[in-house]
Amino acid sequence: MGNSWKDKPVLVTGADGFIGSHLTEALVQKGARVRALVYYNSFGRWGWIDHLPPGIRDAMEVFPGDIRDSGRTLDAVEGNAVVFHLASLIAIPYSYHAPESYIQTNVMGGINILNACRRCGVERLIHTSTSEVYGTAQYVPIDEKHPLQGQSPYSASKIAADMMAESYYRSFDLPVSIIRPFNTYGPRQSARAVIPTIMSQLFAGADRIKLGSLTPTRDFNYVSDTVSGFLSAAESTATIGRVVNIGSGREIAIGDLVEMIFRITGKYARVITDSQRIRPEKSEVERLLCDNTQAVALTGWKPSHTLEAGLEATAQWIREHPEAFQTTDYCI
């Protein structure tokens, strides 16, 4: 595909979300004809799409819908050459309370996308996975051959969706690539995730920071690097039928991350363990560290942001957008 995004008809599902909004914005800037599938609601609000610069927002087609509806999904896919499928029910804690919802959206909704892409004969489908499918690392760094472990209903639903995507490649020659991002962070991420949780509490003037376990390690990737990974995977035919990890190759314990954020923001607080934020013992993913060798080999992709630089950019955005966060109650 090279640099031929100009005038390319592209669908992004989950365009209203954190990563999806950044990917949609990047595609518009590259000149693609973007259809942004957003989750329909009666309030007429389209998530982060509503907050994009007017020139970006007006250049795309906003398409309200729900991937659980096969007819609407088919309508969304029709006429597009490339589909980036990011729509998903996320948040591990909520999956303990409503596992059926994750099957309906992540698995059945994913099947609707696969069927629509097959029926419409798309050139490429980029299916979004997650590093959570690996569970706690059995070895590091984690490559694409690492065993999959359903340590939460969320991760189990994503494993099922990944396997369906793989089966459509093997069974029907659907040109699908499975992109497996590690822990993405950056502007527009909600306080459901650990970095904005810490920063939003600090900037709200909290003298105590409520967190879960501090010992797990994570591989954090700045959102623009994740987006460039998606684009690079779509531009390379070598990724078809493959799983591709997108991560930094650097791990950090949550406790050490807190100290780094204290230094970057110049704000300090006492860390309090909040029992609501701790996963069940056998469900906690204790270690994640990405092996991105395959991404580099197949696409030439490499992350361009250090963790320190990404945290500084994220802190600036959160400081400037306090209205995007509520810090009083824990949101599962």
pLDDT tens for the 332 residues of the chain, in order:
446 899 999 999 999 999 999 999 999 999 999 999 999 999 999 999 999 999 999 999 999 999 999 999 999 999 999 999 999 999 899 999 999 999 999 999 999 999 999 999 999 999 999 999 999 999 999 999 999 999 999 999 999 999 999 999 999 999 999 999 999 999 999 988 999 999 999 999 999 998 888 999 999 999 999 999 999 999 999 999 999 999 999 999 999 999 999 999 999 999 998 777 777 878 889 999 999 999 999 999 999 999 999 999 999 999 999 888 865 455 55
Residue 89 has which token pair? 């029910």
pLDDT for 212: 83
The residue among 247, 251, 242, 255 whose CA lies nearest residue 209 is 255
pLDDT for 2: 47
The residue among 177, 169, 162 whose CA lies nearest residue 233 is 177
Q: How far apart are CA 256 and CA 84, in angstroms?
A: 34
Residue 77 has which token pair? 């896919």
| Model confidence, pTM | 0.96
pLDDT for 297: 98
Q: How far apart are CA 141 and CA 190, in angstroms?
A: 28
Neighbours of 34 (CB within 10 A): 27
Q: How far apart are CA 318 and CA 316, in angstroms?
A: 6
pLDDT for 282: 86
Question: What residues does 82 pair with on adjacent strands?
Answer: 10, 124
CB 180 within 8 A of CB 126: no
pLDDT for 213: 87
Catalogue all structural domains in the chain, each as residue range(s) with its CATH number: 9-184+222-246 (3.40.50.720)
State the residue for tokens 């497996």.
180
What is the CA 146 to chain-centroid distance, rounded?
Answer: 20
pLDDT for 329: 52
The residue among 117, 9, 12, 109 whose CA lies nearest residue 62 is 12
Residue 12 has which token pair? 């992004």
Phi, psi (rounded to 5 degrees) for 83: -125, 125
